Amino acid sequence: MVSIAAYKSGKDYLNHSTSTPPSPNQCLMPLTAQVNEQDHLEIGGCDVTDLVSRFGSPLYIVDETTLRTTCQHYQQAFKQYYPGESLVLYASKAWNCLAVCAIANSEGLGIDVVSGGELLTAIEAEVDSEKIYFHGNNKSVEELQLAIDANVTIVVDNWYELQTLIKLAEHRTQPLPVLLRVTPGIECHTHEYIQTGHLDSKFGFDPDQLESVFDAIKQSPSITCIGLHAHIGSQIFELQPHYDLADVMVRWLIKAKDYGLPVCELDIGGGLGMKYTEHDDPPSIHDWVKKVCDAVLAACETHGLPLPKLLSEPGRSIIGPSCITAYTVGSQKVIPGMRTYLTVDGGMSDNPRPITYQSVYRAVIANKMSQSLQESPITLAGKHCESGDIVIKNVHLPEATSGDIVTVLGTGAYNYSMASNYNRIPRPAAVLVSNGDASIIIRRETHQDLMRFDQMPVHLLAK
């Protein structure tokens, strides 16, 4: 834990102006965060306490400026550092909904989806089918047929899926173009659940399978391979693994060409981390993109390969810094000499990452931004019937009372998308804020919503 002397209040988490605009993934607060005359936190020109009064809590608050700026950083960086064609895909599993997909699309990004539901959402958000890429290690036949009918690009993960697609595409007049997901054998320092590039992974074809896969595709008239994909993990702060990945993948592109496959796309995945606490120091978006582009350029030059269309799939670093979650403080339990629990009206059902990954966040009290922090840390607890439902353990906050608005920072990635109805608690609303206006992008669930799929067997009905 950082020394209490290192900061005094929530104001110290604001993004102070510098000579160069900050990379959004390196900021604890959304870019528009400021403290108003009432000493309240504002995001997108909207007072957070007013938003809670209007829309209730818990409440996801998405800053449109931060979201758009992050998309623009990726777009600008690839244009600056890669002379060939490139496409940034928003990895929508981080937060897939109509509004977020539409904003990413309007900024020129494509969409990476991993299910039929995410695919249909991207289509409904009017994303061009040519800019939708469909991932997943166990796509159903129905999902694969949906993707074929929608004319989106399928990233094939395994033999079963490849054989299924060969059969589904056998009546096409032209071969079905696909990418192949490769497990490159590159590890990085991140949580083991989100390491996907090492060989012991459920994702992708292992290197010793690839030549057999290339040969099978060469022999099939209904399918063809136009590129390769790899993803080495998530919340990564290291740059070298991405550099190493490029050489591995370019070698496999050359091997695919030896089999006569028209490979022209290279998808290097995503994985750039974001700042969750003051201790985190992720590379900037521009530094990450430059490393990736330099690596691909060097590998292509070394091996004499024309530049492929370069794809990337950032998710967390795009949506994560754009959102905060506002809670209302309820009960408090003081255990003398041990711990103080401060309970909020949400928890693991709207943010399962702390209990799942032991993820760490920072928080402020949105209606007490300048007040000094208490010397003793408190434990911010959720309301669910689980002793492990802890939002943040040992966090320094100003003295809090019932009704205060505790706001957790950096909650855009994998909070809403992994939210549940555990304990039959309705999921929160989400609002998009910009220039003082707030728009609902996800309505708050009701108790009636929770029961809408329940069915009472006839023999249990009252006589």
Active site residue 385: yes
Name, in order, each residue with C-beta under 8 angstroms of 258's C-beta and a sequence gap of 6 or more: none
CA 337-343-346 angle, to 5 degrees, is 150
- What are the b/e assignments for 59-75, b being 16+ CB within 10 Å? bbbbbbbbbbbbbebbb
Which residue in 46, 97, 225, 385 is the catalytic one?
385
H-type alpha helices, 259-315: 285-303
Q: Which two tokens stand for residue 209?
A: 């399978």
Long-range Cβ contacts of 338-342 (<8 Å, 24+ apart): 339/378, 339/379, 340/376, 340/378, 340/379, 341/378, 341/379, 341/381, 342/378, 342/379, 342/380, 342/381, 342/397, 342/400, 342/406
Q: Could you please report the per-residue DSSP string of 237-270?
A: --SHHHHHHHHHHHHHHHHHHHTT----EEE---
The answer to whether the CB of 184 falls within 8 A of the CB of 249 is yes
* CA separation, residue 72 to residues 17, 45, 48, 319 (Å): 19, 21, 26, 13
Q: Which two tokens stand for residue 221?
A: 């008239």
Name, in order, each residue with C-beta under 8 angstroms of 383's C-beta and a sequence gap of 6 or more: 330, 343, 344, 345, 346, 347, 389, 425
CA 140-142-143 angle, to 5 degrees, is 65
Distance CA 319, CA 330 (A): 29
Q: Which positions are catalytic?
A: 385
